Structure 1
Amino acid sequence: MNTVGFMDYLSDSSRMNPLFRRLNNDEYRSREYLTWEEMKILIKAAGERGRHRVRDPALLLLSFRHGLRPGEAATMKWDAVMLERKVIYIKRLKGSQSGNHPMQQDEVDLLGQLKRIYANSYFVFPNERGKSLSVDGIEKIVKRAAEKAGLQIKVHPHMFRHSCGYFLAEQNRSTRDIQSYLGHKQIQNTVRYTAENPRRFEHFDWQWEQPF
């Protein structure tokens, strides 16, 4: 068997040696999202160190609030932001549906500061040269914030999108609304958030006489 054939053999998941197989994310972590309380701790930590004490917390806050993928946050430009109207146009990647989202006042305030600080950049979240952040750059920002926050869960940037979905599900938003908000073309991608929401079972009546 030649080298190429051997690698093809290994790539067959039915025969792959476990030592060569990359584990799924859920095998590394017990959950793939952060709670709102954890997000607040992380956002606060992002603003407590380094030169970018406005950019970094704004990046994390908007990524959570609007369910942004790292690439969507990295390429966001100021022409998508309408501060006076408190509206932001979310340009989705991976074939997802783009659309306008409302902004909360804390987002408007942070973005107003950002626009003054990085007045010469087209990008909302620029790097040192005023160009767009890379996905690797965002990962480093998140890693530093997580270390500062001391969270007991390994954090990565794509968790913010999942955190948004689970947060909306806990607010009892409909699956259709969450689908539209996150830009999912297929509702099957959204069902995970409502299916794992424990509040669905809060109406269960366990008020029987305790046997112990």
Structure 2
Amino acid sequence: MNNFTEYSEAFREYLQIEKNASPLTVKHYMEDLKRFFAFLDEEAVSRLEDVDHQLIRIYLTRLHDQHLGRRSVSRKISSLKSFYRYLERHNHVKDNPFIYVSMPKTDKAIPGFLYMEELEKLFEVNDLTDPLGQRNQALIETLYATGIRVSECQGMALSDIDFAIGTMFIKGKGNKERYMPFGRFAEIALETYINDGRETLLKKAGSTSDAVFLNARGGSLTARGINTILDKMVEKAAMTVHVHPHKLRHTFATHLLNEGADMRTVQELLGHENLSSTQIYTHVTKDRLRHVYMNSHPRAKE
């Protein structure tokens, strides 16, 4: 009888309690382990310590035969590497057989972003005399002003906003917390909505709520609802681009870097744990760098 289930459950607790991993991250780890354990059963391997490099090569071949993308394979290797690192640290295995397995190189997609002219169209479509129009204006101003994730926006409470010093308290991925500054345009839009439109929406619910962004019935706005609102704003603006909350996050980061913000500051504002996650935005700023160089260097052009 194997000990797969026992160790995977212990690893789940480790991810949740010690690593403070998000539920989605834990889910992906468990799915990767379940697939690997099924492979071990097929190979009649009953002990985790019996996994060696030859067996791993067979497993990678199986993944390749399933036509999985490089990103997906890389994630599975990373999950198993972390799992065995945990087993090794707790003396359940003598060594980590995945430690020398190289990750397939993945092509990082360059994030799409909006130009200021496109953003201006979205800022102009909302009816600011209407409660939903005020909410939509506050929503898009907040997403662009802060670059927060849709989950962070959805979970924001009134008590998280400090208008006196112009900051928001953001609860990020893995329960990581940060303070996020916001500017005058977002401040005006939020104050208008909170003091007027939000009160009207709240009366429809017949109950109290601390959620900042409410739906038309006065309940808390969902991530799906936020995407729908942005789709309708794009339609009103007669734009052909697709706009989603993460694209506004990309836009926030790109515009900051284009205007001279340093990478470390942008990393902190985005709530990225690793600088490598932020460095992808350097790809979209190269055109801007070339433009500045060509117009600034004395011998860049005749």
Say yes or no: TM over 0.5: yes
Indicate yes or no: 2:197 matched with 1:141. no
Q: Superposition pairs for residues 107-186 of structure 1, below 5 Å?
A: 107-117=186-196, 118-119=198-199, 120-186=208-274
Larger radius of gyration: 2
SS at match of 1:172: coil
Given that 2:169 and 2:178 are in contact with CA atoms closer than 8 Å, whether structure 1 keeps it comes out as yes
Q: Which of 158, 175, 184 matches 1:105? A: 184
1 or 2 for the larger relative contact order (CA 8 Å, sep ≥6)? Answer: 1
Identity of aligned residues (%): 25
* Aligned-residue CA RMSD (Å): 2.8
* Larger helix fraction of residues: 2
Given that 2:141 and 2:189 are in contact with CA atoms closer than 8 Å, whether structure 1 keeps it comes out as no
Indicate yes or no: 2:154 matched with 1:77. no
Distance 1:39 1:98 in 2: 28
Q: 1:54 to 1:48 in 2, by over 3 A?
A: closer
Q: Which of 101, 113, 130 matches 1:33? A: 113
The equivalent residue for 1:207 is: 301
Given that 2:112 and 2:247 are in contact with CA atoms closer than 8 Å, whether structure 1 keeps it comes out as yes
The equivalent residue for 2:95 is: none
What is the one-letter code of the residue matched to 2:134? V
Aligned-pair distance for 1:84? 2.3
Gaps spanning 5+ residues in structure 1: where? Answer: 1-7, 15-23
Distance 1:84 1:132 in 2: 25
Distance 2:209 2:240 in 1: 36
Given that 1:126 and 1:133 are in contact with CA atoms closer than 8 Å, whether structure 2 keeps it comes out as yes
Given that 2:111 and 2:281 are in contact with CA atoms closer than 8 Å, whether structure 1 keeps it comes out as no
The equivalent residue for 1:56 is: 136
In the TM superposition, what whole-angstrom CA distance separates every residue of 1:14-59 from its partner, at most 9, and x where no partner exists?
A: 8xxxxxxxxx9x6xxx962112221121122244797501100110
Q: Which moved more, 1:179-188 or 1:129-138?
A: 129-138
SS at match of 1:196: helix
The equivalent residue for 2:122 is: 42
Aligned-pair distance for 1:123? 1.0
What is the one-letter code of the residue matched to 2:259? Q
Q: Which moved more, 1:197-206 or 1:172-181?
A: 197-206
SS at match of 1:168: helix
Distance 2:152 2:126 in 1: 19
Given that 2:152 and 2:171 are in contact with CA atoms closer than 8 Å, whether structure 1 keeps it comes out as yes
Distance 1:35 1:155 in 2: 12
Gaps spanning 5+ residues in structure 2: where? Answer: 1-62, 71-106, 200-207
Q: Report the count of equivalent residues.
A: 189
Aligned-pair distance for 1:87? 2.0
Aligned-pair distance for 1:146? 0.4
In the TM superposition, what whole-angstrom CA distance separates every residue of 1:96-138 from its partner, at most 9, and x where no partner exists?
A: 8532222222222222222223244311111134332111111
Provide the TM-score with structure 1 as the length reference.
0.77
